Chain A
Amino acid sequence: DTGVSQDPRHKITKRGQNVTFRCDPISEHNRLYWYRQTLGQGPEFLTYFQNEAQLEKSRLLSDRFSAERPKGSFSTLEIQRTEQGDSAMYLCASSPGTGSSGNTIYFGEGSWLTVV
């Protein structure tokens, strides 16, 4: 399967613990995005990478959140000192940089986080 893959798919953690999610984009996609989706809502933009550079961060991304894409390939999203309000699905997406298909963003299956 050459789609966007995310790991883990599900994570239950105690409040105050740290969690890390990994995203492997479609090969050769230089653009990578993280979104968050809570129940009954559409996804909300968190951050964007072009290659290894993080070019935009949403105000939703508090200081407890950090995202990296060290070599311009896979990305990680870490949440420190989790709170119950962090419970959501975290979606990763990627897109090519150019060409007509550059208009299309491909999403992964998401990582569900439950903070108890």
Chain B
Amino acid sequence: AQKITQTQPGMFVQEKEAVTLDCTYDTSDPSYGLFWYKQPSSGEMIFLIYQGSYDQQNATEGRYSLNFQKARKSANLVISASQLGDSAMYFCAMRRPSGGYNKLIFGAGTRLAVHP
């Protein structure tokens, strides 16, 4: 069965510091995709970054980077230079290959608090 595990219920970081949010996944499919979303208190799920299982390079999007370690089945999100506005819930998700569409399986999330 496919599963996403986020072992950190909550994380604290000082403003301007970097923080790593952990994500491990379990799948037997050779082709899959991994996503990170940010969910502020308003509820909207904001797409941050995507990594395909065959991508050779780790994905980066501005201050976000994904530390993809395929053999360890981990896809940790690194946020550099944290800002107060980064305080939110963060969800790791895996795309289940099924006819090519994006059915996502989510982890339980990590709540990040950025302190001034």
In the assembled complex, which residues on chain B have CB atoms less than 8 Å from the CB atom of A55? 99, 101
> With A103-B50, A106-B47 known to touch, is A42 a contact of B101 (CB < 8 Å)?
no
Q: From residue A82, how far is it (CB to closest CB) to chain B in Å? A: 20
Cβ–Cβ contact B37 & A107, under 8 A:
yes
Tell me, in angstroms, the Cα distance from A110 to B37 when the chains sit together: 14
Given contacts A41-B108, A44-B106, contact A56 B45 (CB under 8 A): no
- Chain A residues with CB under 8 Å of B42's CB are 109
CB of B72, distance to nearest CB on chain A (Å): 21
Task: Give chain B nearest CB distance to A70 CB in angstroms.
Answer: 20
CA distance A75 to B46 in the complex (A): 21
What residues of B have a CB within 8 angstroms of the CB of A87 in the complex? Answer: none
Chain A residues touching B, majority SS: strand
User: Given known contacts A43-B45, A56-B98, what 16 new A-B pairs fall within 8 Å (CB)?
Assistant: A31-B101, A33-B103, A35-B104, A41-B109, A42-B91, A42-B93, A42-B107, A50-B101, A95-B102, A102-B102, A103-B95, A103-B102, A107-B37, A108-B44, A109-B43, A110-B45
**Chain A contact residues, CB within 8 Å of chain B:** 31, 33, 35, 40-45, 48, 50, 55-56, 89, 91, 93, 95, 102-110, 112
